[in-house]
Chain A
């Protein structure tokens, strides 16, 4: 075998290996989804979505869980979106490149890697106990906001960085202040990117169970929350609860609830992808 043959063989070998690596994750996901759908799809009907949890699997539903998830989603957005975007704008546009800024930057990146249960403990101490919010939706949303803030800050900064210097220069040269430049030029031009990051962060928050369990979300909530100070449960916790029951019928319920949860996350991710593509088509520097 000549050297050239050997090289070609290696090339081919890596290609096959690469395809294998690419598909391994997708295949596992596909198998999981198919299994879940086969188990749970037939369980989904109107009463499953509109019923409260019950001791009897056939009468149990996810009404309190999905309304809880929706509440958490909305509250977390309201809290984390302005905070995260403002912090990102500050760090990128205003903060001088000092050692302190550097230090902050590194630590925000670090925060994104802190395990979510740690945020749960933090939320338990600060929001539930110190601020006396109790095991409420608000405490849960605040905790999840802390969890996704670093992600929003980092993606906001990336999106802002992608706006070319020349746009800022053009705005300043016309007499615009820094704030006017940020508000009229930088934010609109990077909004798609920012929104994409926020939505992806939210879709992560929607799937979290651990920090909310620590904060005191309950497994059994026989009512739909009506105010931010109500106790609550969310879909992941409901799923966790059902999978830990011995009766097989509850496992079917869990599968059905997983389908709903996946639909919500896929929907959010889909919106994010759509926004990103639209942004890319609209603006070519």
Chain B
């Protein structure tokens, strides 16, 4: 291994739900400003793994991890790490758009407000910046005070992306961000990922092979809690090394 610094790393990571061994000895390292796709059949642990990077599993009773997750070479499961600080640094977008039942503006600035930022000019600036980044500004700039629930599904998802960017994270986790969207909205989200990659390190869970092929630089294939194969996306899709990977990406199971 070269000596370069990785943005995100997992070292001998094991995770358990009670007695169920969900992630088995996972080692992976992701470079800054790349897109890594996690693929694999349902229940293979890819979402669980994604959620260890911002410790979203902490609230699940009976869940525990062993091993290390490193963000900029710091172990995020260290006792000194504060979860709220971590989540400022690592944003997350969920499978189903989940805007808060508040105005568009309140949605975008929620992360900042809970940090105690109240200054209107700061909030307004952040809202415009992130809505532009999420390619939503032109569609909503005249109705920032309207309810976010009135937006279409695709717009809602881009709003959720904007919301995640407001606290200026360096990592963006996306858990099947387009699986609940129509093809046109999906294309917009994918374009967005391509743009965001210039500034953010992105990890995306997807069930859609073509999507993984289109948006990601690296792909990791998970199978029953194990990381089976991890390589450049092109390499994996053209010449998978493991037969399980091959079977999965050619659609023979999953």
Residues of chain A touching chain B, judged by Cβ–Cβ distance below 8 Å, are 96-97, 164, 166-167, 169-177, 180, 184-185, 188-189, 282-284
| A–B complex contacts, Cβ < 8 Å, 13 sampled | A97-B61, A166-B94, A166-B98, A167-B100, A167-B101, A171-B100, A173-B87, A174-B110, A174-B163, A174-B167, A176-B84, A188-B102, A283-B101
On whether the beta carbons of A184 and B56 are closer than 8 Å, the reply is no
The docked-state distance in angstroms from the alpha carbon of A107 to that of B166 is 45
A175 contacts B114, C-beta separation under 8 Å: yes
CA distance A173 to B59 in the complex (A): 12
The residue that A175 contacts in the complex, of B96, B98, B111, with Cβ under 8 A, is B111
Check A175/B149 contact, CB under 8 A, given A96-B61, A166-B98, A170-B94: no
A96 — which chain B residues lie within 8 A by C-beta?
Answer: 61
Determine whether the beta carbon of A284 is less than 8 Å from that of B149.
yes
Contacts of A172 in B (CB 8 A): 56, 59, 87
For residue B150, give the distance in angstroms from its CB to the closest CB of chain A. 10
Within the complex, what minimum Cβ distance (angstroms) separates A50 from chain B? 45
Q: How many angstroms from the CA of A180 to the CA of B114 in the assembled complex? A: 7
Interface string of B63-85 (1 = CB under 8 A from A): 00000000000000000000111
Question: Cβ of A169: which chain B residues have Cβ within 8 Å of it?
Answer: 56, 94, 98
Give the distance in Å from the alpha carbon of A23 to the alpha carbon of B199 in the complex: 67
Cα-based distance from A164 to B113 in the complex (angstroms): 22
| CB-based contact A174/B160 at 8 Å | no
The one of A166, A174, A185, A283 in contact with B96, judged by C-beta atoms closer than 8 angstroms, is A166
Residues of B within 8 A of A177 (CB): 84, 114
Q: What is the number of contacts between chain A and chain B, taking CB atoms within 8 Å? A: 67
Q: Which of A97, A166, A177 has the most CB of B within 10 A?
A: A166
Q: For chain B, which range describes its interface: under 10, 10 to 19, 20 to 34, or 35 or more residues?
A: 20 to 34
Chain B residue numbers with a CB within 8 Å of A164 are: 98
Contacts of A184 in B (CB 8 A): 110, 113-114
A180, B54: Cα distance in complex, Å: 18
Whole-angstrom CA separation of A170 from B98 in the bound complex: 7
Is the pair B54, A173 in contact by a Cβ cutoff of 8 Å? yes
A171 to B110, Cβ gap below 8 A? Answer: yes
Q: How far is it, in angstroms, between the C-alpha of A173 and the C-alpha of B164 when the chains are bound?
A: 8
- Give Cα A284 to B113, complex, Å: 24
Give bound CA distance, A169 to B175, whole Å: 12
Q: Could you tell me the distance in whole angstroms from the C-beta of B48 to the nearest C-beta in chain A?
A: 14
User: How far in angstroms is the closest Cβ of chain A from B87?
Assistant: 4
Q: List the A side residues contacting B87 at CB < 8 Å.
A: 172-175
- Known contacts A175-B84, A177-B84; decide if A170 and B160 are in contact (CB<8 Å): yes
B94 touches A175 (CB 8 A): no
Q: Which residue in A166, A175, A180, A188 is a CB contact (below 8 Å) of B85? A: A175
User: Chain B residue with minimal CB distance to A177?
Assistant: B84
Closest partner residue, chain B, to A165 (CB atom): B98
What is the bound-complex CA distance between A171 and B167, given in angstroms? 13
Q: Which of B163-181 contact A (CB under 8 A)?
A: 163-164, 166-167
Q: How far is the CA of A97 from the CA of B163 in the complex (A)?
A: 32
**A174 and B114 contact, CB distance less than 8 A:** yes
Is residue B115 within 8 Å, beta carbon to beta carbon, of the partner chain?
yes
Query: Considering only CB atoms, which chain A residue lies closest to B96 in the complex?
Result: A166
Beyond A166-B94, A284-B149, is A175–B101 a contact (Cβ under 8 Å)? no
Which B residues are in CB contact (< 8 Å) with A174? 87, 91, 110-111, 114, 163-164, 166-167
CA A170 to CA B96, docked complex, whole Å:
11
Give min CB distance, B190 to chain A, whole Å: 21
Minimum Cβ distance to chain B for residue A192 (Å): 11
Q: Once the chains bind, are A282 and B101 in contact (CB under 8 Å)?
A: yes
For A185, what are the chain B residues with a Cβ–Cβ distance below 8 Å? 100
* Contact residues, B89-133 vs A (CB, 8 A): 91-92, 94, 96, 98-102, 110-111, 113-115
Q: Does B158 contact A (CB under 8 A)?
A: no
A187 to chain B, nearest CB (A): 12
User: Of residues A167, A171, A175, which shows the largest number of chain B Cβ atoms within 10 Å of its Cβ?
Assistant: A175
**Which residue of chain B has its CB nearest to the CB of A163?**
B101
B46 sits at the interface (CB 8 A): no
Q: List the B side residues contacting A189 at CB < 8 Å.
A: 101
Interchain CA distance A260-B202 in the complex, whole Å: 65
Q: A184-B114, A283-B149 are in contact. Are A173 and B100 (CB under 8 A)?
A: no
Could you say which residues of chain A place their CB within 8 Å of the CB of B96? Answer: 166
**What are the residues of chain A within 8 A of B113 when measuring CB–CB?**
184
Residue of B nearest to A185 (CB): B100
Q: Tell me which residues across on chain B come within 8 A of A282, comparing CB atoms.
A: 101
Residue from A164, A174, A184, A185 whose CB has the most chain B CB atoms within 10 Å: A174
Smallest CB separation, A175 vs chain B (Å): 4
Contacting residues, chain B, for A176 (C-beta < 8 A):
84, 110-111, 114
Distance between Cα atoms of A176 and B115 in the complex (Å): 8
Q: Which residues of A contact B149 (CB under 8 A)?
A: 283-284
The interface residues of chain A lying within 8 Å CB-to-CB of B167 are 174-175
Q: Identify the 6 closest CB pairs spanning chains A and B, nearest first.
A: A175-B87, A166-B98, A174-B111, A173-B92, A175-B84, A170-B98
